[in-house]
Each structure stands twice: as C-alpha cells, then as structure tokens.
Structure 1
C-alpha cells in the first residue's frame, strides 16, 4: 500500500510539472515564430491551405503548412529538382554555370527555411505529447493515491 501511495504521489508531482513544461515550451515556440514575422500570402494558396490566407504563422500546424508553401515554391523555381539534383548538374557542368549556381542557392535557402519550419512543427508535436503524458500521469497518480488510501482504510 505504501509503495502504491508513493508511486501515486510521485505521479501527482511529476504530471503537473510535465504539463507546465509543455505549456512553457509551446509558448516559446509561439514567441519564436511570432518573432520571425512570417505570414501566409493573402491569395493564391492551394485549396487545402486557403484557410491560412493572410494569417501569421504562430503555431506548429501553421509552421507545417507554411513549410508546404515553401516546398511548393522551391519546386516551381527549380523545375521540380532538388538541391542535390541541381548540385549534380552543376558539377557535371564543370561548376561554372552561373544560372545553376543561383538555382542551387535558391533550392538550398528554400529547403533550409522549410526544414526550420518543420522543426518548429515537430517541437510543437512534442509539447502536445508532453502535456498529454503529464495529464495522464496526474490522473493515474490520483487513482493510485485513492486506491492506496482505500486499501489502507480497508485493512
């Protein structure tokens, strides 16, 4: 019974700490995204992203959606080629093709921006997991404490 109560008490302490840390991390992600001053264009988005038109990017799901916009723009600018493919073309051309060099830099910059936004999305997803697990720990801890108290009273 003592072990059950101790486990429940530990979970009751750890759960709210996890929730608080998850909420704090989520606020930090929002602050960082807000500081980047990224906004969706006011028009011209694909139908599946039209709901974001004109909005600022401040959440993980918005960061993921904007990464999709960047990915589409990079593909359009590079004719559907990746950074690696353009680099291979540049090497095959002897490395002195100015047009390919500019295109490679465009692909690189776009893919780096896209990757940064996808990192924000992944961090956002982790905060969701931490908040959910913290809530689950708190509830489970309360149940264990209640069970140990009931068992102690019954004996």
Structure 2
C-alpha cells in the first residue's frame, strides 16, 4: 500500500472518531445541563433552608452541615448532607437507632395486645409516623443527590470527550500534513523484514 493512501485512511478514521467524540461531548454536556437544572428546580421548589446555629451544634451534624448553614437547599451535595447527617441523626435519636420496620412491628404488636398501655401504643404510632415521613423525605433527597452525581459524571465525560476530540482533530491534521510531505511512490511495508543474506557457496 502506498504511504499516501495509508495516511489518508488514518486521517479519515481520525476525523470520524474526532467527530463522534465531539458529538458525544455535546450530548453529555446537554445531559449535565438538563440534570443540573432539574435537580436545582425540584429542590428549590421545596423551599428548604439548611439548618444553622444551635440546630447543627451536635457533633454528628456540624462537621457535615456547617459549610451549608443558612443556605437554600438546591444541590445534590446539600441534599445528601441534609438527608444523612441531619434527618437521619434526628430519626436515630427519636427511635433509639431502630428502623421504621422495627418500630412499625412494635406498634402493630402493641396495638394487637389488649393489655398494652394506650399511651405507649400512641407513642409508638407517633414515632412510626415520624420515621415514615423521615424515610420518605430522605429518599427524595437522596434521589436528587444520585441524579446530581450522574450530572457531574456526565460533565466530566463531556470534558474528556472534548479533549479526545481535539487531540484526534490535531492528529488528523498532522496526518494530512505528513501525507503531503511523503513521495507519491513511497510504499508502506508492514511486517516485511529484510531479505535473508545469501548462504555462502560451498566449494
């Protein structure tokens, strides 16, 4: 194969790959913008203000929420911090570390027990409702965090795709330049070794 033909094929392949990477980068950037805008909009609609002051003095809370104190909750990172280090902390304190399922089981058992103290049953019912609402809010916030994380991944993917596209365009243009510099008759010999030296004549 002639060297110019080989360079042309490589250049065309490089341009195709560069174009595909450019398109992928554009789609990933669109995905990032779409996800980020929706996460921001959905969280902003809840009108949640991150706790501050005495509300975050607990050592289980302060290290994670102090950087967001008093801010409007609009990002995935804020949502995760609020869900895991504020709501969950208060849920665990209220229930003594018991889960919703455990408290619900206790409530059902107490309700069925004719000898159970009505005040205890009512307390378990209130705790069950509190944990249910806490789990629901945590689930919504953590979903927002998950989507926000996917948006961030899409952003980094877009950056990598744009860099790859730029490199491939540059290499393709270098291939075009190299094609112009090689003699038209030069051949590419892939896998062809040097001819073997003739065996010495035997007298």
TM-score greater than 0.5 by the shorter chain: yes
Q: Are residue 55 (structure 1) and residue 71 (structure 2) matched?
A: yes
Q: Which runs of 5+ in 2 are unaligned?
A: 1-9, 114-120, 180-203
Structure 1 stretches of 4+ with a deviation exceeding 3 A read: none
- 1:3-152 matched pairs, under 5 angstroms: 3-43=13-53, 44-45=55-56, 46-48=61-63, 49-67=65-83, 68-95=85-112, 97-152=121-176
For the 8 Å contact 1:74–1:110, the answer to whether it is kept is: yes
Q: 1:69 to 1:137 in 2, by over 3 A?
A: same
- CA deviation after TM superposition for structure 1 residue 9, in Å: 1.0
Larger radius of gyration: 2
Q: Compare the two structures and name the one with the higher helix fraction.
A: 1
CA distance in 2, matches of 1:22, 1:41: 28
TM-score normalised by structure 1 residue count:
0.91
CA distance in 1, matches of 2:155, 2:112: 50
Deviations 1:55-97 (A, max 9, x none): 2111111111111211111112222211011122123324473
CA distance in 2, matches of 1:144, 1:12: 10
Q: Which runs of 5+ in 1 are unaligned?
A: none
Deviations 1:22-65 (A, max 9, x none): 02320221111111100122322132122322221111111111
CA distance in 2, matches of 1:95, 1:136: 60
CA distance in 1, matches of 2:112, 2:157: 52
Give the aligned CA root-mean-square deviation in angstroms: 1.6
